[in-house]
Amino acid sequence: MYSLPNALTILRILLVPVFAVAFVMPGDAARIVAVSVFALAAISDWLDGFAARKLKAGSDFGRMLDPIADKVLVGVALMLLVAEGTFARPTNGTLSLLRLVPALIILSREILVSGLREFLASTRVKVAVTAIAKFKTAVQMIAIATMLMTPLADEYLPGIPAMSYAALAYILLWVAAALTVYTGVIYFRSGMRHIRPGPSEGASLEDA
């Protein structure tokens, strides 16, 4: 429980409220802190997996907590971005929808998969993380970080037109949503094979 990978996972969870507070504070400095904290938390997701493999320090506690930490970080970030788009510019309905729809897709998938994962755990089906699941998580983190930087594009990314950067941020967010749907469908199709009446034997399932 107190290994380095688990400590990094716990750190990721503890960084979420720090990120949220920095996000809602006014000013560019606060937004830079929010982006930096989110980036640190996202990098810790890769580091804890890397440390677990290199140190052979994987544990049931880490396997349980790691996906929870990812979902909390992504969920809070998406809710804050949607709230910002809705309440800061309430007249721009199109931009609000461009954030709201992919955010709802991602959050809905994570909730549904969490429910299926909990059921499968009760039937002793083991869930392994696949390469495409890791890629999906990486794209989500990059998309959210890019979206967080959008208000700072004019001043801190002078080589990129603000409109072009914003378009890139929205495209990445929709790509992340598409990958979320794709991996969710794969996961559910695999999981449905283990749903049957009566007692079942232990099995394994890859988490896409």
Single out the residue of 30, 19, 13 nearest to residue 144, CA to CA.
Answer: 19
Q: Which domain holds residue 152?
A: 4-207
Instruction: Kindly report, residue by residue over 57-74, the tens digit of the pLDDT.
Output: 666 666 777 888 888 999
- 130 Cβ partners below 8 Å, 6+ apart? 206, 207, 208
User: What does the block give as tokens for 145?
Assistant: 């970080």
Confidence (pTM): 0.81
Q: How far apart are CA 87 and CA 13, in angstroms?
A: 26
Rg (CA), the chain: 18
The pLDDT of residue 203 is above 80: no
Q: What CATH code is carried by the domain that includes residue 19?
A: 1.20.120
Name the most confidently modeled range: 10-24, 44-58, 62-76, 128-142.
10-24
**Total domains in the fold of the chain:** 1
Instruction: Kindly report, residue by residue over 148-181, the tens digit of the pLDDT.
Output: 998 888 787 777 777 888 888 899 999 999 999 9
